[in-house]
Amino acid sequence: MKIIKNPLQKNWSDILKRPTQTIDDIEATVNEIFAEVKTKGDQAITKYTSLFDGISLNNFQVSMEEIVSAEKEISTELKSAIQLAKENITKFHAAQKTDRVEVETQSGVKCWQEKRPIQKVGLYIPGGSAPLFSTILMLAIPANLAGCKEIILCTPPNKEGKINPAILYTANLCGVTKIFKVGGIQAIAGMTFGTETIPQVYKIFGPGNQFVTVAKQLATRFNVAIDMPAGPSELLVFADETAKPSFVASDLLSQAEHGADSQVILVTTSEEILESVEKEVESQLEKLPRKDIATKAIENSKLILVKDEEVALNLINQYAPEHFIVIAENEKFFVDGIENAGSVFIGNYTPESAGDYASGTNHTLPTNAYAKQYSGVNLDSFQKSMTFQKIDEKGIKTIGKAIELMAEAEGLQAHKNAVTLRLKSLEE
């Protein structure tokens, strides 16, 4: 990890750069695959699944027989763990439900807001070296709570054309309606346009690599919404002398092992903590099964020493981390002052892993500084807010003149006439 001591604020932007390719580097590939899936449907899906995943499939949809078989392959202990996580995530997201908001803005003018589910949603679940079945919990649970009618899931197959059994078990447990063995750009394109096999959806959710991130952004050009531009994972930890260095190092490595393009950062006011965490990272890294991946991510990562907590907080808010862990005697200063972060973890005994799996909060979060303007996935992500209004005779008399004056001032005579006709009818 690169050590940086007391960087000047004018250099923060360069220091805090993410190790990601630009969209220009990827967009040509994404455009090509999208165009082919749009015109050739399943034929293009088959081609790119063979090219990228090394398997030719005649049928992408997972059968019920495969789901039943997968359940038998999952240990009782893992099933219990998944069910515990499901209970906590359900509890937290169910608490986010809101009642209808109704206001009488003027006598006879009633306005209200209600939420309606997005009818068709697509969930993208990364497979590859880390089959993220936990992400299904984070997406399918709120989708069901919101009342989504179709919940489509795409995830890449392995070289044998199979899906990790934990993914199939969790998807079935959480009410996913259809599962497809399709990954990467072609999966996002399939859900964007629909094919002979894969249904078209209205909104796509889920994390992925940089290619998936750009594919999701491209999908928005074709009347498909996305949760957020969620790319490679990232974590920033602030730690002072009250932090346990071994805990901090384990948190940094927990995100580093996600992928070579992940980034982890330690910000501290203590040189002793910086040195201790550096040693712990080196020690723990040697014991990780995913050492090679984590090592590459650590090369993109930084240990930053700053002079005081105020500087630290300003730097953290500029970085806008996906995950922010604060271990500090003055934790309230950071909890109250953090403005840009996807999810915040407080204290020595709150590992980021808890949010990834089972505490109840959602782990689908904005990366690449999008925490400055995006929220993480929540119940509202699967709903639309619709407004309603009803005006009676008294109400139109109350606000009618104001509408006429405003419409006329904007030069929109038909708008004015729509009110004038009604007002005159009440004079008869």
Sign of the dihedral through C-alpha 188, 192, 197, 199: positive
Give yes or no for a contact between 119 and 148, defined as CB atoms under 8 angstroms apart.
yes
Mean pLDDT throughout 124-137? 88
- Would you list which residues are annotated within the binding site for NAD(+)? 124, 186, 209
CA–CA distance, 359 with 239 (Å, rounded to integer): 22
Question: How sure is the predictor about 39, in pLDDT bands with cuts at 50, 70 and 90?
Answer: very high
DSSP-H helix ranges across 288-387: 291-299, 309-319, 331-337, 352-357
Confidence at residue 22, expressed as pLDDT on a 0 to 100 scale: 63
pLDDT at site 20 = 67
Q: How far apart are CA 410 and CA 416, in angstroms?
A: 10
Q: Is the pLDDT of residue 424 over 70?
A: yes
Average pLDDT of the residues in 409-416: 98
Q: Give residue-wise pLDDT tens across range 82-104.
A: 999 999 999 999 999 999 999 99
Binding residues are 124, 186, 209, 233, 255, 258, 323, 356, 410, 415
Q: How far apart are CA 101 and CA 274, in angstroms?
A: 50
Paired strand residues for 387: 113
- Identical fold for domains 2-20+232-360 and 23-106+117-227, yes or no, is yes
| pLDDT the model gives residue 115 | 97
Helical (H) or strand (E) element with 78: helix 76-94
In the chain, domain spans:
2-20+232-360, 23-106+117-227, 392-427
Which CATH code is given to the segment(s) 23-106+117-227? 3.40.50.1980
How far is it, in rounded angstroms, from Cα 188 to Cα 193? 9
* Predicted pLDDT of residue 48: 96
Q: What is the mean pLDDT of residues 381-409?
A: 98
What is the percent of the chain where pLDDT is above 90? 91
At 231, is the pLDDT very low, low, confident or very high (cuts 50, 70, 90)?
A: confident
Task: Say yes or no to pLDDT of 162 above 90.
Answer: yes
| DSSP classification of residue 223 | T
| pLDDT over 90 at 129, yes or no | no
Taking all residues of the chain, what is their mean pLDDT, rounded to a whole number?
95
CATH of domain 392-427: 1.20.5.1300
**349-389, pLDDT tens digit by residue?**
999 999 999 999 999 999 999 999 999 999 999 999 999 99
CA separation, residue 71 to residues 7, 87, 180, 232, 428 (Å): 52, 19, 17, 30, 73
Q: What is the pLDDT of residue 356?
A: 95
Enter the pTM of the model: 0.93
CATH superfamily of 2-20+232-360: Nitrogenase molybdenum iron protein domain (3.40.50.1980)
**Beta strand pairing call for 178-181 and 150-155:** parallel
Is residue 149's pLDDT more than 80? yes
User: 3-30 pLDDT, tens per residue?
Assistant: 999 999 999 999 999 886 567 778 999 9
Least confident of 56-60, 72-76, 352-356: 56-60
Query: Would the pLDDT of 294 be above 90?
Result: yes
Which range has the worst mean pLDDT, 86-90, 160-164, 317-321?
Answer: 160-164
Binding residues for Zn(2+): 255, 258, 356, 415
At 21 the pLDDT is 58
Active site residues: 322-323
